[in-house]
């Protein structure tokens, strides 16, 4: 698939979004116009074979578009999991266990003869929103990804924070209720164990199993569980039980945003991930709880909004990060 081909473009930037099922590859101009993109399957057992396929696919993509490998100035790779970004290496990635210890950015860099950076998927998406998306007008922002878990990216004074062990910005594991629900990380009361899309569905399913009165019971009885999407749909249709489930989600995210304000004081908090399909109502209730719980003794300025790069955020963000890391003065 190709769009906006501009063969005048000299400097090319590559974004690679390495997922457990597919690798998305995008090629961009210096201004981050998408020149072409493609998706190939991930070989979960053979990291080098996967990256060889990525490089081959990239070669075909470029030649079809009349572009040249030699014009690639830098590449970025986004990947879920714990990474050693300095070494460009995956430490642990839940869906890619065999990739552990693979110096992925060096491998790709040697193949394409250009510098390559590896970065956590949430940081990549955050960088994309920061330079080209919903937060392009501010210097300090936080991205919260509301999906299976809650991920985060923190950009302060124009820099992504990483922390000593590359474990910064784990905002889903900020504890909201000490001694509360047990989280997959082993802590208790983490934001993500209440307010991720999965946790929202899980809380609903637990109470539906106990016989909670709700229009969701029909689905629950038939299929054995309900999805986060269905909970939000029934809430918007006036189901009281579903509404209360979504209220706790918004309350926990609102409290998390209060703590984000006190910690890094961003201009904007940008939400992404599957749960943003719930739309404006979600944003309104998060704002409501933020305003309820935030301090009133100082002037608090903050904006909440949705991400706007959506499904291409992984490739756009990683290409932009590569450009801004290696090619900006």
| Token code pair at residue 304 | 């909440």
Binding residue for a copy of itself, selected from 185, 223, 237, 284, defined by CB under 8 A: 185
Binding residue for a copy of itself, selected from 261, 271, 290, 304, defined by CB under 8 A: 261
Binding mask 132-151 for a copy of itself (x = CB under 8 A): ------xxx-----------
When the beta carbons of 22 and 263 are compared against a copy of itself, the nearer one is: 263
165 interacts with a copy of itself by CB under 8 A: yes
Binding residue for a copy of itself, selected from 18, 90, 131, 174, defined by CB under 8 A: 174
For residue 70, the minimal CB distance to a copy of itself (Å) is 33
- Which position has the token pair 């709880």? 289
Binding mask 102-131 for a copy of itself (x = CB under 8 A): ------------------------------
When the beta carbons of 94 and 224 are compared against a copy of itself, the nearer one is: 94
**Is 33 strand, coil or helix?**
coil
**Is 124 strand, coil or helix?**
helix
**Cα dihedral sign, 190-195-201-203:** positive
22 interacts with a copy of itself by CB under 8 A: no
Measured distance CA(324)–CA(47) in Å, rounded = 26
What is the rounded radius of gyration, in angstroms, for the C-alpha atoms of the chain? 21
First to last CA, the chain: 32
For residue 202, the minimal CB distance to a copy of itself (Å) is 18
Could you tell me which stretch among 33-41, 44-52, 113-121, 157-165 binds a copy of itself (CB under 8 A)?
Answer: 157-165
Measured distance CA(202)–CA(181) in Å, rounded = 11
**Cα dihedral sign, 219-225-229-231:** positive
Binding residue for a copy of itself, selected from 295, 311, 328, 329, defined by CB under 8 A: 295
Q: Do 37 and 99 form a contact (C-beta atoms < 8 A)?
A: no
Could you tell me which stretch among 111-119, 193-201, 226-234, 262-270 binds a copy of itself (CB under 8 A)?
Answer: 262-270
Give the helix ranges, DSSP H, for the chain: 47-64, 104-112, 121-132, 192-195, 197-209, 217-223, 228-236, 240-264, 280-293, 313-326
Binding residue for a copy of itself, selected from 73, 87, 181, 188, defined by CB under 8 A: 188
Measured distance CA(27)–CA(247) in Å, rounded = 41
Binding residue for a copy of itself, selected from 2, 263, 284, 310, defined by CB under 8 A: 263
Helices and strands (DSSP H and E) totals, the chain: 10, 12
Q: Do 232 and 245 form a contact (C-beta atoms < 8 A)?
A: no
Could you tell me which stretch among 106-114, 198-206, 221-229, 252-260 binds a copy of itself (CB under 8 A)?
Answer: 252-260
248 interacts with a copy of itself by CB under 8 A: no
Could you tell me which stretch among 24-32, 115-123, 152-160, 221-229 binds a copy of itself (CB under 8 A)?
Answer: 152-160
17 interacts with a copy of itself by CB under 8 A: no
Tell which residue, 124, 40, 48, has the closest CA to residue 80. 124
95 interacts with a copy of itself by CB under 8 A: no
- Which position has the token pair 């053979």? 46
154 interacts with a copy of itself by CB under 8 A: yes
Contacts 24+ apart (CB under 8 A), 163-168: 166/82, 166/83, 166/84, 166/85, 166/91, 166/120, 167/82
Which residues of this chain interact with a copy of itself, rule CB under 8 A? 82, 92, 138-140, 154, 156-157, 159, 161-171, 173-178, 183-188, 255, 258-259, 261-267, 293-302
């Amino acid at each position: 698939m190709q769009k906006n081909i501009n063969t005048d473009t000299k400097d090319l930037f590559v974004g690679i979004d390495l997922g457990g099922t597919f690798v998305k590859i995008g090629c961009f101009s210096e201004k981050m116009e998408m020149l072409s993109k493609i998706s190939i399957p991930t070989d979960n057992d053979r990291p080098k074979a996967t990256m060889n396929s990525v490089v081959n696919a990239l070669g075909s993509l470029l030649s079809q578009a009349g572009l040249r490998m030699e014009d690639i100035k830098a590449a970025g790779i986004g990947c879920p999991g714990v990474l050693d970004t300095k070494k460009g290496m995956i430490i642990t990635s839940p869906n890619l266990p065999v990739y552990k210890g693979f110096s992925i950015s060096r491998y790709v860099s040697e193949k394409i003869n250009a510098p390559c950076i590896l970065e956590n998927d949430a940081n990549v998406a955050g960088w994309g929103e920061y330079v080209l998306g919903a937060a392009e007008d501010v210097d300090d922002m936080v991205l919260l990804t509301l999906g299976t878990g809650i991920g985060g990216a923190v950009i302060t004074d124009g820099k992504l924070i990483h922390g000593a062990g590359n474990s910064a910005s784990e905002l889903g594991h900020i504890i909201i209720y000490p001694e509360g629900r047990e989280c997959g990380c082993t802590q208790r009361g983490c934001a993500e164990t209440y307010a991720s899309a999965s946790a929202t569905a899980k809380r609903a399913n637990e109470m539906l199993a106990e016989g909670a009165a709700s229009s969701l019971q029909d689905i629950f009885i038939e299929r054995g569980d309900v999805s986060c999407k269905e909970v939000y749909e029934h809430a918007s249709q006036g189901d009281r039980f579903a509404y209360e489930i979504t209220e706790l989600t918004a309350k926990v995210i609102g409290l998390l945003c209060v703590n984000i304000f006190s910690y890094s004081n961003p201009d904007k908090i940008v939400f992404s991930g599957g749960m943003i399909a719930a739309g404006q109502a979600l944003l309104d209730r998060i704002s409501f709880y933020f305003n309820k719980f935030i301090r009133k003794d100082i002037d608090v300025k903050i904006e909440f909004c949705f991400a706007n790069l959506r499904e291409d955020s992984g490739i756009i963000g990683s290409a932009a990060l590569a450009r801004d890391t290696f090619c900006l003065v």
